[in-house]
Each structure stands twice: as C-alpha cells, then as structure tokens.
Chain A
Amino acid sequence: MNRMDINVQWVFTSTALLGLASGMIGTFALLKKQSLIGDAMAHAALPGICIAFLLYGQKSLLLFLIGATCSGYIATICIQFIVKHTRVKEDAAIGIVLSVFFGLGIVLLTWINQHEGGNQSGIHDFLFGKAASLTGSDVNVLTVTAVTVIIMILIFFKEFKIITFDRAFAQGIGIPVSLLNGVLMFLIVSVVVIGLQAVGVVLMSALLITPALAARYWTEKLEWMTLLAGGFGALSGVAGAYISLIAYAPTGPLVIIFATVLFIFSFLFAPKRGLCSKMIRRHIERKKLQSQQLMYKRGEQL
C-alpha cells in the first residue's frame, strides 16, 4: 500500500471518529440548550492554541489540545461569571466572550506570523480545517481523545441523562451535579479541539449541533438519540472527507453541508416528528373530523 492510501485511510478514520464523538456529546449540549456554547468554545480555543505554539515553538497536537482546553474552559467560566454577576444576558455574554477571545487569537496569530517566521502553516489550518494535513501522530492523538470521550459518555451515561433532564432531582439523590457538568464541559471542549484541525474553528460547532438535531427527529429516547447522532456525525465525516478528496474542496464545509442535508431530510421526513408526516397526519385527522361531523349531521337529520 503506498503512502497516499495510508493518508486517505487516516483521513477517513479520523473524520469518522470525530463525527461519532461530536454527535454523541452534541446530543447533551443540544438538550441542555447549550448549542452556542460549543460555538463560543471553538472560537475561544484559538488563543490557547497560539499560546501553546508560542511556548513550545512548534506544532504539536497534544500541546494544542492542552492550550485550547485551558482557554476554552476559561471562556466558559467567563460566560458563567458575566451571566451570574451582571445584568448582561446569556446570549450577549456568549457573544462577548466568543468575539473577544477570537480577536485575541487573531492578534496572537499575527504576532506569531511576524516573530516566529513562516513556520505557522500548521496553526493556519486550524481556522478552516484541512483533514488532508493530518499526520500520523495527529491521528493518534485524535483517535485516543475521541475514543476516550466516547468511553466517558458510555460510563457516565446515566448520570449525564439525569443532570440533563432533571437537575433538581439529580441534586436530590446526591449526584455531584456541578462536577458532572464540569466533566461534560470538558468532554465538549476536547471534541471541539480535536475537531479544529479537521473541520476548523467556525464549523466545529455545527458538528456538535447538526447531527444531534437531526437525530432528535427520529426518536424520543436518549439512548437512541445519542447513537443516531453519533452515526449521523460519523456518516457526515466520511462523506464530507470523500467528497473533499475527489472535488479538491475544503473538508470542513463539506462535512457540515452533508450533515445539514441529513438534518433537512430528518426535519422533513422523519416518521413521527417530521414536517411531512405531521402534515399528512393533520390531513388525515381533518378528514376524519369532517366525516364524523357529516355523520353527526346525518344523525340529527334522521
């Protein structure tokens, strides 16, 4: 097998695993109504990555992961602080943190450009993602992180389920809610960070939201929803990477477009909650009602 084939395999494996992990963790983010926090964290990861690069001097996915996790976590703390202590509402707090952190990231990026020579192409791919630029060690880090996230979700599934749906009850039965919330946040940040290189800062949030939202249309059970979201995510990852390989277009946007197509399909045609089936059901009910009314009328006439 030549090098090209191995590279292609890497790309497929990593985008599939990434999609799987982000779809699964995205389910919880979506149900906790925190979809846009993922967006904020993806943007907030940039300064962390730049600082890690400045300290270490070269590209290393593991260090980037640590740096991005730190700055992503600081960003969530900032959002919570602003919401809790000022009259500024959550949406504005997210917007403030997102744009200011990203601005700081851009400042650091230009600083690196000027002071560290032209050796920043590795960082550059983080803005829009370039799955083809993944190297063997990147794939290792990505695989390990994604698998860890998936295992963590499986281990804490019951706890996450309870704190997502009924926080007060979870507190009542003695589950450490804030600790588990922290774990959940940490998992989201990790997925966002490993996704940055494959799909980029801007679109990483979509990989959290869109597959989960599509899965929401097919089922009412959290177990199925998590599995489906993971499946949709993995499918979009592979399909997007495949199209990007044959069309020479950037991977990230294609992954997202494919995920959105899945969402639109679910939104329209899902058996119970889909738009079409709702309309058909309404139509049938109306017909039923009309025929009932007709029968009542006839009954009165008799």
Chain B
Amino acid sequence: MSYTMWILLTASLVGINCGLVGTFLVLRKMSMLSDAISHSVLLGIVGAYMVSHHLQGVSMLVGALIVGLLTTFLVQWLHQKGVQNDAAIGVVFTCLFAIGVVLISLFADRVHLDVEHALMGEIAFVPWDVLEVGGKSIGPKAIWLLGFVLAINIFCIVFAYKEFKISSFDYEMAVTLGIPVVLIHYVLMGMLSLTTVASFDSVGAILVVAMLIVPSATAYLWTDRLSVMLICSALIGVLASMIGYMIATVFNVSISGAIAVSTGVIFFISLWIAPKHGLLRKWLKKSPA
C-alpha cells in the first residue's frame, strides 16, 4: 500500500472510532467530557512512560484508560459535592493537563513526546512507524492500535446496544428497568479514553475532539434513528478525513488541522440542507407557499 493510502486508512479508522463513541456523547450531552479526557490523557501517557520507560501501545492504552476514568470519576464526584458541572470539568482536566505538561518538561530530554505533537498530532509520520513481526513489516503500528480499539468499541456497542440506547435517551426509564446505568456510563468513558489515546498519537488532542463531536452532531441533524446516526457519523468522519487530507496536501498545511476544518465545513453545510432539521427547510415551511 502506498504512503497516501496508509494515511487515509489511519484517518478513516479515527473517523469511524470517534463517530461511534461520539454519537453517544452528543446524545448524552457530555460532549465537553471528550475535550476534558482528550487533554488529561496526556498525563496518562506521561505516567505510562514513567512507569514502563517506553512508549509502546499497551502501556499507553492502560495509562490513558486509568487517567480517563479518573477524570470522569473526579468530575462526577465534584459534581455530587455541589460543584456545577461545567466548572467541575474545567477544573479537573486543566489541572491534570497542567501536571502532564510539567512532567513532560521535566523529562523533556528523555521522552519522545512534546506537547505540540500531542496537540497537533503527527499523522504524516504514521506510515513509517511500522510494526514488525518476525522481521517482516505488517503495516503501521497506529493502524493496528486503532483497529484493536475499533474491535473493542464495536464489541461493546453490539453487545450492549439496547442498554446504551435506552440509557442515552431516557435515563429514568433505564434506571427503572434495572439497566446498570453507572456501569454503562463507565464503559462508555473507558471506550472514550481508549479511542482518544489510540487517535491521539496520530492526530492529536484537538482533532480528537473535532472528530468525536462534529460528525456526530452533524449526523444528529440528518436522522432521528440511533442506528442510522451511528453509521452516518462514522461515514461523515471518513469523508472529512478524505477532504481534509486533500486540502492539506494541496496547501501543504497540517493534516489534522485541515481534517478538523473539513468536519466543520460539513457541519455547516448540513446545518442548512439537512432534510428534516435543516434551516432551509424550516424557513421554507415558515414562509407562506
């Protein structure tokens, strides 16, 4: 496979992963938690490095999972203790991110991880960082990592589809039906942390937020069915990656930034032309025919 194909495949896998998880975030009105986790995951990666002394896939996933769940737990706990939700999110993730940045700057000479890389990603280098088994290259590491996380995400969603659906749309009903809502919440946050860290290394923290929220919010404008919304947001994520990559190569700018911008453009277009919830249709309806 060519260099371009690997990059497109990576970006598409990020798009699909984020689209699936992001759908539930948008429906549960927890979009800003993704912003929080995408920042605090940095601490998880630094922590994993300090414990294991290398930046390999598994230890990074574990570190991110721990810090991601810690972030969720702290936000929840502060909220229970009377701190309003937006402020709780704001305090927790900025503090964890700050600790991460300080740790990086203290170990800067030894860690191959600068904060800029973490924020902007280095998707352009993905194809060169290949996984070798028995001396034979079997494709970029990032692809395997993203594929692995995708398998987990699909498994969780298919396995507990009904539970996810009910608890996202009608929390009280889910509680009454005896669905373990707290467990579902933490499973979703676990999925979010894994998705974030797997995407993080190749596309950076900000793009993860764009990929999680924007395609899902766009899909939310197009459809009223959860299953359609899941597929739609994954497809929009892939489409945005393709367009973004093309823009980035033409103008020679940051790939992850261009992908974020193209998700925004797709959202903006959908805002007007979406069949049921688009603005054009609403205005046409209002004006007497």
A106: which B residues are within 8 A, CB to CB? 119-120, 206, 254, 256-257, 260
B78: which A residues are within 8 A, CB to CB? 267
Taking the nearest CB of chain A, how far is it from the CB of B47, in angstroms? 15
* Inter-chain contact B210/A275, CB cutoff 8 Å: no
Please provide the chain B residues from 250 to 269 with a CB less than 8 Å away from any CB of chain A in the complex.
251-254, 256-261, 263-264, 267
B90: which A residues are within 8 A, CB to CB? 35-36, 38-39, 205-206, 209-210
Chain A interface main SS type: helix
Residue of A whose beta carbon sits closest to that of B82: A273
* Inter-chain contact A89/B210, CB cutoff 8 Å: no
B98, B210, B213: which contacts A203 (Cβ < 8 A)? B98
* Inter-chain contact A103/B32, CB cutoff 8 Å: no
Query: Does A58 lie at the interface of the complex (its beta carbon under 8 Å from any beta carbon of B)?
Result: no
Q: Mark A161-198, 1 if CB is under 8 A from B, else 0.
A: 00000000000000000000000000000000000000
A103-B29 contact, Cβ under 8 Å, with A95-B34, A254-B102: no
* Inter-chain contact B98/A85, CB cutoff 8 Å: no
Among A107, A114, A249, which residue has the most Cβ atoms of chain B within 10 A?
A: A107
* Inter-chain contact B213/A96, CB cutoff 8 Å: yes
* Inter-chain contact B95/A95, CB cutoff 8 Å: no
A114–B251 Cα distance when bound, in Å, is: 10
Residue of A whose beta carbon sits closest to that of B213: A95
B31, B39, B95, B102: which contacts A91 (Cβ < 8 A)? B31
Residue of A whose beta carbon sits closest to that of B267: A96
Among B29, B84, B91, B279, which residue has the most Cβ atoms of chain A within 10 A?
A: B91
Q: Mark A109-133, 1 if CB is under 8 A from B, else 0.
A: 1110010000000000001100000
Query: Does B194 lie at the interface of the complex (its beta carbon under 8 Å from any beta carbon of A)?
Result: no
* Inter-chain contact A103/B35, CB cutoff 8 Å: no
Among B116, B209, B263, which residue has the most Cβ atoms of chain A within 10 A?
A: B209
B271: which A residues are within 8 A, CB to CB? 82, 85-86
A88, A103, A205, A267: which contacts B258 (Cβ < 8 A)? A103
Please provide the chain A residues from 10 to 47 with a CB less than 8 Å away from any CB of chain B in the complex.
30, 33-36, 38-39, 43
A128: which B residues are within 8 A, CB to CB? 101, 115
A205–B279 Cα distance when bound, in Å, is: 32
Query: Does A298 lie at the interface of the complex (its beta carbon under 8 Å from any beta carbon of B)?
Result: no
Taking the nearest CB of chain A, how far is it from the CB of B168, in angstroms? 13
B116: which A residues are within 8 A, CB to CB? 127
Please provide the chain A residues from 28 to 84 with a CB less than 8 Å away from any CB of chain B in the complex.
30, 33-36, 38-39, 43, 82
A33–B264 Cα distance when bound, in Å, is: 25
* Inter-chain contact A206/B264, CB cutoff 8 Å: no
Q: Mark B243-255, 1 if CB is under 8 A from A, else 0.
A: 0000010011110
B264: which A residues are within 8 A, CB to CB? 96, 99-100, 103-104
What number of residue pairs across chains A and B have CB atoms under 8 A from each other? 192
**Interface-forming stretch among B136-144, B171-179, B214-222?**
B214-222
Residue of B whose beta carbon sits closest to that of A273: B82
* Inter-chain contact A202/B94, CB cutoff 8 Å: yes
* Inter-chain contact A104/B94, CB cutoff 8 Å: no
A103, A205, A275: which contacts B260 (Cβ < 8 A)? A103
B84, B97, B263: which contacts A202 (Cβ < 8 A)? B97
**Interface-forming stretch among A136-144, A146-154, A219-227, A255-263?**
A255-263
* Inter-chain contact A253/B279, CB cutoff 8 Å: no
A275: which B residues are within 8 A, CB to CB? 81
Residue of A whose beta carbon sits closest to that of B263: A100
Taking the nearest CB of chain A, how far is it from the CB of B119, in angstroms? 7
Query: Does A250 lie at the interface of the complex (its beta carbon under 8 Å from any beta carbon of B)?
Result: yes
* Inter-chain contact A253/B101, CB cutoff 8 Å: yes
A87, A94, A100, A253: which contacts B210 (Cβ < 8 A)? A100
* Inter-chain contact B95/A260, CB cutoff 8 Å: yes
Query: Does A102 lie at the interface of the complex (its beta carbon under 8 Å from any beta carbon of B)?
Result: yes
Query: Does A241 lie at the interface of the complex (its beta carbon under 8 Å from any beta carbon of B)?
Result: no
Please provide the chain B residues from 228 to 246 with a CB less than 8 Å away from any CB of chain A in the complex.
none
Residue of B whose beta carbon sits closest to that of A31: B84
Taking the nearest CB of chain A, how far is it from the CB of B90, in angstroms? 4
Please provide the chain A residues from 234 to 289 with a CB less than 8 Å away from any CB of chain B in the complex.
249-250, 252-254, 256-257, 260, 263, 267, 273, 275
B residues adjacent to A (C-beta < 8 A): 26, 29-32, 34-35, 39, 78, 81-84, 86-87, 89-91, 94-95, 97-99, 101-102, 105-106, 115-116, 119-120, 206-207, 209-210, 212-214, 216-217, 220-221, 248, 251-254, 256-261, 263-264, 267, 271, 277, 279, 282
* 22 CB < 8 A contacts A-B: A34-B86, A39-B90, A86-B221, A86-B279, A88-B26, A95-B31, A95-B214, A96-B213, A98-B209, A99-B210, A99-B214, A100-B264, A100-B267, A103-B256, A107-B248, A107-B257, A206-B95, A250-B101, A253-B97, A253-B102, A267-B78, A267-B81
Nearest 6 pairs of A and B residues by beta carbon: A103-B260, A100-B264, A106-B257, A206-B94, A99-B210, A253-B98
